[in-house]
Amino acid sequence: MTMAELATVVQENLDINVAIINNGYLGMVRQWQEFFYDKRYAATPISGPNFQKLAEAFGISAATITTRGEVAGAVESARRQKRAAVIDFRSSRKIRSTPMVPAGADLDQA
């Protein structure tokens, strides 16, 4: 869901930092299935893409973070650059997406 936006960031030379909280699922969809559809899970685990390589393919600085100890350094590095950066924060599969927007609700109701 980010590839077109990454192309725009590069094309317009924008200084935007993208943080991906990556729990290996289509996070909010899985939560809908958990909370609203009696845990009938379907088609929510995802194995890719490699967001670091995807960002780098566009010429955007990127990092993949797998431990808490790496977080501060990666965020500080992204802020210092004055150009786009993508950080893929790998998290536990138990982490939930927030804010969660219920199906049919507006974003301001999250």
What whole-number distance in Å separates Cα of residue 32 and Cα of residue 17?
27
First to last CA, the chain: 20
Report residue 83 as tokens. Answer: 């150009």
Tens-digit pLDDT string for the chain (110 aa): 668 999 999 999 999 999 998 988 887 888 888 888 999 989 989 888 999 999 999 999 999 999 999 999 999 999 999 999 999 999 887 777 677 777 788 877 76
What whole-number distance in Å separates Cα of residue 50 and Cα of residue 3?
12
Structural domains of the chain, ranges and CATH numbers in brackets: 3-92 (3.40.50.970)
Place of tokens 């965020």: 75
> What pTM did the predictor assign?
0.81
What whole-number distance in Å separates Cα of residue 22 and Cα of residue 11?
25
Give pLDDT, residue 47. 84
Give pLDDT, residue 31. 85
Sign for the CA dihedral angle at 108, 71, 24, 53 comes to: positive
